[in-house]
């Protein structure tokens, strides 16, 4: 007996071929580069923070800050590279807990805030040249006698969820047997509030962010920053990993901004002059760490 011959209608074959093509096209789109995605969307998506003063924060629903300004210059460099007449910017609000996922999943083309470039994060994302180098210190109430990590022994210390200072104080607490009760806040603003209300004895975070939060508080005289650097934090714009073409544009623009001193002017406008919302100045000159690093700018940072 001859095996039965199965005849597929032509319409079914055409539909199957179209379905396969759509699946393949979807796969190719997913595997496309960041530049492909930007061209397809017709816009560039910048992830920003809500309360990382002066790097990336929101005033009257408008994202602003030092890192945001740098990213807008990068976005213009991308527009020129793609030879587009215009490239609208769309903003995406992220938190310390979900900022990496936003970049990894492609919801944002870059994250412009106060994110530390370290080896652990580089397993998932990439970074460009640092725009600031800082270190973790402590915010306490002005009447507090605490002036170091050891001063928090047996007390309460908060840090923001998903940040490197949180990891650092947890490790130091274990190693030194300080019996510090470490709490996590969802964002920097809430952590500052916990200090102000006496819910905790201090807040561990990058000192430049602490100064910014104090400047933006209702009464800056009630808070102060204390202690030596617990960590060294190179802060950088965060990018998708394994996309050399996009990264090259960002790196080149950052290096151009530094070489031309445009980056220095942007720095001055956010760290030395009055800034929103209270129009008070942080009066934080560029520290020696960043000055030295910008002499030979690179995305490679000391561990």
pLDDT in tens, 43-78: 999 999 999 999 999 999 999 999 999 999 999 999
Pairing between strand 156-160 and 181-185? parallel
11: pLDDT strictly greater than 70: no
Q: What is the pLDDT of residue 226?
A: 96
Domain boundaries, given as residue ranges, for the chain: 35-133+234-293, 136-231
Q: What is the pLDDT of residue 6?
A: 43
Architecture in CATH of 136-231: 3-Layer(aba) Sandwich (3.40)
Average pLDDT over residues 247-260: 98
Predicted confidence (pLDDT) per residue in 132-154, tens digit: 999 999 999 999 999 999 999 99
What would the DSSP string read from start to end of the chain? Answer: -PPPPP---HHHHHHHHHHHHHHHHHHHHHT--HHHHHHHHTSEEEEE-SEETTTEEEETTEEESHHHHHHHHHHHHHHHHHT-S---EEEEE--TTTHHHHHHTTS-SEE-S--B--TTGGGTEEE-S-SEEE-EEEEEETT----SGGGGTTSEEEEETT-HHHHHHHHHHHHHT---EEEEESSHHHHHHHHHTTSSSEEEEEHHHHHHHHHTSS-GGGEEEES--S--EEE--EEESS-HHHHHHHHHHHHHHHHTTHHHHHHHHHHTS-BTTTTB----PPPHHHHHHTTS--S----
CB-CB neighbours of 261 under 10 Å: 12
- Mean model confidence pLDDT for the chain: 91
- Give the CATH number of domain 35-133+234-293: 3.40.190.10
19: pLDDT strictly greater than 90: no
Q: What is the pLDDT of residue 22?
A: 41
241: pLDDT strictly greater than 90: yes
Q: What is the pLDDT of residue 302?
A: 78
- Which pTM was predicted? 0.78
Judge whether 35-133+234-293 and 136-231 match in fold: yes
222: pLDDT strictly greater than 50: yes
pLDDT band for position 290 (50/70/90)?
very high
pLDDT band for position 5 (50/70/90)?
very low
pLDDT band for position 205 (50/70/90)?
very high
Predicted confidence (pLDDT) per residue in 110-131, tens digit: 999 999 999 999 999 999 999 9
């Amino acid at each position: 007996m001859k095996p039965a011959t199965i005849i597929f209608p032509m319409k079914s074959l055409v539909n199957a071929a179209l379905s396969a093509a759509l699946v393949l096209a979807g796969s190719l789109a997913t595997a496309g580069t960041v530049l492909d995605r930007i061209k397809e969307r017709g816009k560039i998506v910048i992830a920003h923070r809500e309360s990382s003063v002066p790097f990336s924060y929101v005033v009257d629903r408008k994202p602003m800050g030092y890192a945001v300004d740098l990213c807008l210059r990068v976005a213009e460099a991308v527009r020129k590279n793609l030879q587009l007449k215009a490239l609208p910017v769309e903003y995406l609000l992220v938190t310390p807990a979900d900022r990496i996922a936003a970049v990894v999943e492609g919801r944002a083309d870059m994250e412009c805030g106060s994110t530390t470039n370290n080896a652990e994060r580089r397993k998932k994302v990439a970074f460009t040249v640092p725009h600031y180098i800082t270190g973790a210190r402590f915010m306490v109430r002005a009447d507090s006698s605490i002036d170091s990590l050891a001063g928090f022994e047996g007390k309460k210390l908060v840090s923001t969820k998903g940040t490197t200072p949180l990891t650092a104080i947890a490790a130091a607490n274990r190693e030194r047997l300080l019996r510090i009760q470490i709490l996590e806040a969802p964002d920097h603003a809430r952590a500052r509030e916990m200090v102000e209300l006496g819910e905790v004895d201090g807040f561990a975070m990058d000192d430049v962010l602490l100064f910014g939060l104090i400047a933006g508080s209702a009464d800056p005289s009630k808070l102060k920053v204390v202690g030596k650097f617990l960590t060294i934090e190179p802060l950088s714009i965060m990018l998708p990993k394994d996309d050399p073409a996009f990264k090259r544009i960002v790196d080149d623009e950052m290096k151009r901004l530094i070489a031309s001193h445009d980056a220095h002017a942007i720095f001055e406008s956010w760290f030395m002059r009055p800034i929103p919302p209270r129009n008070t100045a942080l009066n934080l000159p560029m520290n020696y760490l960043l000055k030295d690093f910008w002499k030979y700018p690179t995305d490679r940072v000391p561990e």
